[in-house]
Structure 1
Amino acid sequence: MQTPSLVEETVNEELPGVTQPEGPIKGKRRQRLLQGIQRISSSSSLQQLKRSRTSQSPYANRGSLSCVSLSGHHSPFAQYPSGAASPGYLAHTSPGTPTTEYANFEDIETRRAVRKLAHGSSPCLVPNSIALPAELVTNRTRRAPYEFWAKMPDEIRVHILSFLEPKELVRMSVLSKEFHKYCFDGQLWTNFDATDFYKDIPGASLAKIITAAGPFVKDLNLRGCVQVEHEKKTEVIVKACRNLVNATLEGCRNLPGATLHSLIKANERLANLNLTGLPVVSNSTCKIISQHCPQLESFNVSWCKSMDAKGIRMVVLGCPKLRDLRAGEIRGFDNIEVAKSIFETNRLERLVLSGCTELNDQILQTMIHGIKPPVDILTDRPIVPARKLRHLDLSRCKNLTDRGVGAIAHLMPDLEGLRLSGCNAITDSPLEKIVASTPRLTHLELEDLAELTNGFLSKHLAKAPCASKLEHLSVGYCESISDTGMIPVIKSCTNLKNIEMDNTRIGDLVLAEASAMVRSRAARSSTYEARPYVGLRLVVYDCSLVSWTGIREVLSWNAEIRQPSGTTPTYPTEIIGLKCLYSWQQTVDQHTQRVLRGDFLAAGRLERKWADYMQANEEAGLSGAGVRRRRRRAREAQQLHADEEGAGAGRRRARTMASSCAIM
């Protein structure tokens, strides 16, 4: 006889009118029994049936589940009433109500999947759900962004802004007050150069910038700033700038004289001062400079019409460090006292007197020899200290002759640049002595010397000590110069970088010799990516003996690719820049651009088609049989040449489409 189970006894106890069958409980009766038990699960009569949880239960502590849904249609435990728990789980009840745990049922219909949690995160909760405890919820508050610019040191901010151009700094200053403060920091304006924006900036803005950065400004360039005219604005600039070292006021023609004098007096450390073309500069200005600028090294007063050579004398005597003096087109250089002061000081390394028409032979000899110097009886040369001049510009001084220019010879051993262009009375004689006694000469300009001959170039300049160092030679408008004089010079002066031979009688042989000279001195590269540079510039326009064959010789060398059999091809590294006849210049420029970007094949193709075009033009100009045929070839060559230059891209496309339609 089977002993009744605990559940059956409980049912008999709570339901006295129910008769219990002897056999086992059937399936339907079991379901009805479970439903009845669920209805009475909260009864106080079942408190004695409570037993402790097993130690193997993974849910021994309360609140260990992430959430338990209390909604019937959303929860996976919807088959159970709100008061009952799913099989194998603890039923959470209201406070004061005993909790009951039921054993797992074996029926497969009653099993439910276990809800899995990922890293303790709470799933999406539905209404009437219980969230995780506060101590288990991870705090995922987003960290505030790092204020990089605000926490950066001021020195680094200023250093970053120092890479901006002045126009960019002014634009950035309107972003905020903070940027305005840093953009107008004086450390950013130690070098104020208005060359790029002098036409656009108003006078008020210019005064504001200089006022903000005045104590820091050392290099001030206001070239062309005509808006600096109002007295109040200029006074602000003068009061702000107290530490100038380099000042350029060229072209500020509206600058008041009193303001200029105040600026000079306030900056005693001025080393370079450029007052070119200012009408307010006078001898009084030069006197103030001589008294207040003892550190002055460079002084430029060219084209200042309100002063004369007496002001130059004050500056030369009052500034012991003066090395560079530029006084082009200044009146009064017929004064012997001015020449004497230049001779006695002997400090100048650059002297520019271009356009000083009053300069004559006596004044120039006094500047170099002094007054009545002792003479060496063997060489017939004055015994005086050598001059320190390195650059001398006497161009357009038309009163100079061979006697005055000859004084330069043997007394300027450090001379590097000499300009005598426009001195029409000079012949070969003084120049022969000068080039023989100046071994460091690199720049020689003899433009528009009608008496210059081929003998000076071939017999003296080509054999002079300075031949290997000569870089710049200008003999333009010397109508007596031809191939006879220039070819020996090009052969000997292998370091030439610029030759100006316009309006002379040179021919194609000079261009061929220049190409050979560059070919011999320039190394070649086996790397296709290497880009050449212009190493020699030739100016040969308006030369009647220069033909297109000589131009082609230069273009052919510029784009030459050498590839001997079985070896790696080599490419030029140095080419010739050419300025020739106007009608050929566009082709030459296109060819040079292609060579400079490394497209040698396209450059060679352009050169060949241009040669065909020029040859067809020559044939078309001849008379006799075949005139129409030659003219047709000329037109075809001209079309091909225009196509290669890209000028007739639309016409070329139209012609291509027309020919395709004709073939179709």
Structure 2
Amino acid sequence: MNADELYPKRVRSQKSDARRNLSFASRRRNPNLRMCQLLHLQHLDASESKINGSSICNIRSVTSLNLCGCTNITDMRLIGICTLPQLTRLSISWCVNIKGHIIGCGMSNLTYLELRGCDGLRDVNLNDISALLHLEHLDLGNCNNITGASICNISTLTSLNLTGSGCITDKGLSGGLSTLRQLQKKKQVTGSCLHSMPSLRRLNVSRCWRVHDENLRQMSTLTKLRYLDLSGCAVTGSTLGSISTLTHLDLSRCWDVTDVGISALSTLPELQHLTLCNCQKILGATLCRLPALRVLNVSGCSQITDVMLRAICALPQLEHVDLSDCATIMT
């Protein structure tokens, strides 16, 4: 989920909505509007603006605040923001002058915190974040000085985004996160830390080049996992049959996936969505063994033929097939 979804730039015709939702685009159209006059404002989007945050602390009714890309925001300015009693969602992504020294002080109701691209953050700053007893979603993408060692102290997390964070390791994530339901991470991890995350339902490890078939065996302990993105990983698919709860699986650009690997998926009784984009070694013969399949994407799979297509289309639940760039299909 991105910041645009959480902090929509809404300026509606109804007066009540206008008082509760403000983007800086609307403020530019109303230059006489003062921040201190917005006594009932709940949603404020000031992203990419020159605001320094000094006036925001006067808007005590704000519940969601987007300061993404506001380079004038500093730790000192955050002190006032941290006192906002109703604040539940805060984005300070790409606020490059934030070092994180006071993040976690106050903001006792915060459930969503986005810190993407705040390279000044260190593991020690995450110790303070663990004091946020209601925090459920944390985005630390592109925070390149965090190893993950302190993330496990944040015991309430259900969603964690670590994409592009270059120092995150399996060791750093192996200490807990038992409540985590959704995880996105990249490159440095192998997956050996996943045993400590039994509540995972969505896992995105796309382009994690260290993830391979043996690591996937450990995922059999993830009894709630429904969505798995392995696109761009060096896997064959042969060990995926043990994750029996999967409903969505993405193996796009997994160059080593073959029909043998796909045959292992026949033990996944609930698999409904399968993406195999540009898996060049697949002929398609074993796809017929996936009776629960509803959506299949084999775009760019150049070896699938008309004969295989007819067999695939006989799957009883199949509703949608993407065959784009399948050069050998003539019908």
**TM-score range, shorter-chain basis?**
0.7 to 0.9
Q: Higher strand proportion, which one?
A: 2
Partner of 1:396: 232
- Cα shift readout 1:575-609 (whole Å, capped 9, x = no counterpart): xxxxxxxxxxxxxxxxxxxxxxxxxxxxxxxxxxx
Partner of 2:150: 288
- Cα shift readout 1:309-331 (whole Å, capped 9, x = no counterpart): 111212xxx22212222222124
Q: Higher helix proportion, which one?
A: 1
Deviation at 1:386, TM superposition (A): 7.7
In structure 2, list runs of 5 or more residues that go unmatched. 1-14, 42-55
CA contact (8 A) 1:173 1:181 kept: no
- Cα shift readout 1:507-531 (whole Å, capped 9, x = no counterpart): 3x3xxxxxxxxxxxxxxxxxxxxxx
Partner of 2:328: 505
Partner of 1:219: 89
Taking structure 1 as reference, are residues 260 and 268 closer, same or farther at Cα in structure 2, changes over 3 Å only? Answer: same
Taking structure 1 as reference, are residues 417 and 191 closer, same or farther at Cα in structure 2, changes over 3 Å only? Answer: same
Partner of 1:420: 251
Partner of 1:480: 303
State the alpha-carbon separation in 2 of the partners of residues 501 and 209 from structure 1: 53
Partner of 2:208: 356
Deviation at 1:168, TM superposition (A): 3.3
Deviation at 1:415, TM superposition (A): 0.9
447-456 vs 345-354, which moves further: 345-354
State the alpha-carbon separation in 2 of the partners of residues 296 and 308 from structure 1: 18
Return the letter of the residue paired with 1:475: V
State the alpha-carbon separation in 2 of the partners of residues 278 and 453 from structure 1: 41
Higher-Rg structure is 1
Taking structure 1 as reference, are residues 248 and 366 closer, same or farther at Cα in structure 2, changes over 3 Å only? Answer: same
Taking structure 1 as reference, are residues 170 and 210 closer, same or farther at Cα in structure 2, changes over 3 Å only? Answer: farther
State the alpha-carbon separation in 2 of the partners of residues 276 and 306 from structure 1: 11
| Partner SS, residue 65 of structure 2 | strand
- Which residues of 2 match residues 129-208 of structure 1 at below 5 A? 161-165=19-23, 167-168=25-26, 174-175=32-33, 179=37, 181=39, 183=41, 185-187=59-61, 189-194=62-67, 198-199=68-69, 201=70, 203-204=72-73, 207=77
CA contact (8 A) 2:277 2:299 kept: yes
Deviation at 1:431, TM superposition (A): 1.1
State the alpha-carbon separation in 2 of the partners of residues 451 and 351 from structure 1: 25
Return the letter of the residue paired with 1:193: N
Partner of 2:223: 387
Partner of 2:261: 430
* 2:181 corresponds to 1:323: yes
Deviation at 1:257, TM superposition (A): 2.4
Partner of 2:285: 455
Taking structure 1 as reference, are residues 432 and 222 closer, same or farther at Cα in structure 2, changes over 3 Å only? Answer: same
State the alpha-carbon separation in 2 of the partners of residues 163 and 242 from structure 1: 22
Q: Which has the higher contact order (CA 8 A, sep 6+)?
A: 2
Return the letter of the residue paired with 2:205: L
Deviation at 1:190, TM superposition (A): 0.9
State the alpha-carbon separation in 2 of the partners of residues 344 and 203 from structure 1: 39
| Partner SS, residue 138 of structure 2 | strand
Deviation at 1:279, TM superposition (A): 0.7
Return the letter of the residue paired with 1:186: R
CA contact (8 A) 1:173 1:180 kept: no
- Cα shift readout 1:51-85 (whole Å, capped 9, x = no counterpart): xxxxxxxxxxxxxxxxxxxxxxxxxxxxxxxxxxx
Taking structure 1 as reference, are residues 181 and 345 closer, same or farther at Cα in structure 2, changes over 3 Å only? Answer: closer
State the alpha-carbon separation in 2 of the partners of residues 272 and 177 from structure 1: 28
Return the letter of the residue paired with 2:277: E
| Partner SS, residue 261 of structure 1 | helix
Taking structure 1 as reference, are residues 478 and 495 closer, same or farther at Cα in structure 2, changes over 3 Å only? Answer: closer
- Cα shift readout 1:72-115 (whole Å, capped 9, x = no counterpart): xxxxxxxxxxxxxxxxxxxxxxxxxxxxxxxxxxxxxxxxxxxx
State the alpha-carbon separation in 1 of the partners of residues 325 and 97 from structure 2: 43
CA contact (8 A) 1:354 1:396 kept: yes
- Cα shift readout 1:18-59 (whole Å, capped 9, x = no counterpart): xxxxxxxxxxxxxxxxxxxxxxxxxxxxxxxxxxxxxxxxxx
CA contact (8 A) 2:82 2:107 kept: no
TM normalised by structure 2 equals: 0.75
| Partner SS, residue 277 of structure 2 | coil
CA contact (8 A) 1:325 1:348 kept: yes
Return the letter of the residue paired with 1:330: Q
Return the letter of the residue paired with 1:322: L
State the alpha-carbon separation in 1 of the partners of residues 78 and 29 from structure 2: 14
State the alpha-carbon separation in 1 of the partners of residues 35 and 277 from structure 2: 58
CA contact (8 A) 1:474 1:499 kept: yes
* 2:109 corresponds to 1:243: yes
State the alpha-carbon separation in 2 of the partners of residues 321 and 386 from structure 1: 12
TM normalised by structure 1 equals: 0.40
Partner of 2:238: 406
State the alpha-carbon separation in 2 of the partners of residues 176 and 342 from structure 1: 49
State the alpha-carbon separation in 2 of the partners of residues 193 and 495 from structure 1: 41
Deviation at 1:161, TM superposition (A): 1.0
| Partner SS, residue 363 of structure 1 | helix
Partner of 1:442: 272
Return the letter of the residue paired with 2:271: L
Deviation at 1:180, TM superposition (A): 5.1
State the alpha-carbon separation in 1 of the partners of residues 123 and 174 from structure 2: 22
**Alignment partner of 2:291 out of 440, 445, 465:** 465
CA contact (8 A) 2:157 2:180 kept: yes
Partner of 1:147: none
- Cα shift readout 1:261-318 (whole Å, capped 9, x = no counterpart): 3651442321111111211211xxx332222x1111122212211231111212xxx2
| Partner SS, residue 392 of structure 1 | strand
Partner of 2:129: 264
CA RMSD of aligned residues (A): 3.6
| Partner SS, residue 231 of structure 2 | coil
| Partner SS, residue 216 of structure 1 | coil
State the alpha-carbon separation in 1 of the partners of residues 225 and 202 from structure 2: 6
State the alpha-carbon separation in 2 of the partners of residues 320 and 170 from structure 1: 45
CA contact (8 A) 1:477 1:503 kept: yes
Deviation at 1:349, TM superposition (A): 1.8
